[in-house]
Amino acid sequence: MKTLKYNTTINASKEKVWNTLFTDENYPKWVSVFSEGSYAKTDWQEGSAIDFLIPSGDGMFSTIHQKIPNKLMVFNHLGFIKEGKKVYDGKSKAWENAKESYELIENNGKTELHVSMDTTDEYVNFFNETFPKALKKIKELSE
């Protein structure tokens, strides 16, 4: 696993940025840069299951490892979903316990968003190309 880090400063309160990141209404708007029609199936509560999905039913199953509202959200990835079913093969197992975190720090009405995510070598280039686009979209939706 490699840990990738991304940052941006957003001209909005941490509450506004949080609402953009982690609500059923807004999450699909910014995550669509990764795959059109992406969404999360969850109640957004600490300890809850969360499935990150695309319309075909493929995606990733995870848990909400830690949640401090308007400050920190950490996902613990557990494996892949294929056609709506959890997969427990070697490729899926490689993602077991990979973390993805979002930290918000507000300073003078601006919010610094710090993202850290574990990934396999196979996805490093994809995330390095796509995550900056996602940050741009989060900024646009929040400001």
Tens-digit pLDDT profile for residues 96-138: 889 999 999 999 989 999 999 999 999 999 999 999 999 999 9
Handedness of CA 141, 128, 118, 96 (dihedral sign): positive
**What percent of the chain is predicted at pLDDT more than 90?**
91
Give every CB contact of residue 63 below 8 A, 6+ residues apart in sequence. 47, 48, 49, 50, 75, 76, 78
**pTM to 2 decimals?**
0.94
